[in-house]
Amino acid sequence: MSRLPNPWVIGPILLAAIAGGAVGYFVTDASCVPDSCTVAAVSVALVVGIGSAVGVGIVVVLALKSLSEWREHADRDILTVADSDDPPTPPTC
């Protein structure tokens, strides 16, 4: 039983990988003499793309888990305030 990847996770990860790779490539390519370090630029693009994808992936997964926990607590009325007009009573020792 395999699940399909969640598009809310895959989309930002792919976008971050493409953007990070492009930035890594163009910064490295701009710092070299034209047509002299294409291999280095591609290598940097791969490393930066993978690094940005991993970083964004961690943030997206944590955000989705947090949202899932919040929804679970909201369903059980843990996070809601009581609807009474009486002021809350202080705790007794």
pLDDT (tens digit per residue) in 53-80: 999 999 998 998 898 888 887 777 665 5
21 Cα distance to chain centroid? 17
Q: What is the pLDDT of residues 11-34, one digit of tens each?
A: 999 999 999 999 999 999 999 888
Kindly write down the DSSP assignment for every residue of 31-88, as one continuous string: TS-TTS-HHHHHHHHHHHHHHHHHHHHHHHHHHHHHHHHHHHHHHTTSSPPP--SSPP
pTM: 0.69
Q: Domains of the chain: which residue ranges? A: 7-75
Query: At 35, is the pLDDT very low, low, confident or very high (cuts 50, 70, 90)?
Result: confident
Asked if the model's pLDDT at residue 88 lies above 70, the reply is: no
Give SS3 for 16.
Answer: helix
Do 8 and 64 form a contact (C-beta atoms < 8 A)? Answer: yes
